[in-house]
A = this chain, B = another copy of it.
Amino acid sequence: MIAPNMATMLGFIFTNANLPSNVLQKILEIENEKTFNSITVDSDTSTSDTVLLSATRTANHVPINKYSDKRLKDFKRNVSSLMLELAQLIVIDGEGASKFITIKLEGASSTKSAKKIAFSVANSPLVKTAVAGEDPNWGRIAMGIGKSGEIVDQKKLKIKIGNFVVAENGKVSENYDEKKLKEYMEWDSIEIEINLKLGNDAFKCYTCDFTHDYIDINADYRN
């Protein structure tokens, strides 16, 4: 039951930095889009999502009062990295998850479109069960892209699984070697890269596979 927007989770991040709440809030909102709001277990959301970023302001430095202040560069990067780690741990802990999946969507005409397509693939039960079955079923990935309802040119489409280019310019890649790719599918962490070649916008999201344990946990929880 995890597709934060925000969803079933309480996240608390503390720092001793001397930063006012408006700066913290802006950092949190921006980084949240790329971390907690970029994960999904099964597309289903919940009611009790919270991520707090709180500063004790005990660090010995002059307060920094602007989000754009260059001295915040490292701080932002570290908060982002911590939030991404926490968010990914939620996915790994998803009901019955046996594999971690990264969907990298590139070449979109807008970030909104990139996000919609990435989540359409990530939430597809057929993509998730194919990954559980360790099958490089790229037809299901193409289906997940198509059913998003976004405009896509299949003649431009490129699909990569791990380091293996599967389809390019709408055709199966000349170097496609299903046997090698099947070995890659046995890994615990699978990366699916999709390039629409329609623009410069991108979105990355994180999900997990769909296994028998997902059904056990969510169907038989009262027995």
Instruction: State the A residues within 8 Å of B (CB).
Output: 1, 3, 5, 42-47, 123-126, 129-130, 132-133, 135, 140, 143-144, 146-147, 210-212, 214-215, 218-223
Q: Which residue of B lies closest to A223 (CB)?
A: B133
Q: Are B44 and A215 in contact (CB under 8 A)?
A: no
Would you mind naming 9 contact pairs between A and B with Cβ atoms under 8 Å apart?
A42-B126, A43-B125, A44-B140, A44-B144, A44-B147, A129-B215, A133-B222, A135-B221, A210-B219
Count identical subunits in the complex.
2
Interface secondary structure of A, over-half rule: loop
Docked pose: A5 CA to B120 CA in angstroms: 15
Q: Which residues of B contact A44 (CB under 8 A)?
A: 124-126, 140, 143-144, 147
Cross-chain contact of A130 among B46, B147, B219 (Cβ < 8 A): B219
Q: Which residues of B contact A220 (CB under 8 A)?
A: 133
Q: Are B219 and A211 in contact (CB under 8 A)?
A: yes
Q: Which residues of B contact A210 (CB under 8 A)?
A: 125, 215, 219
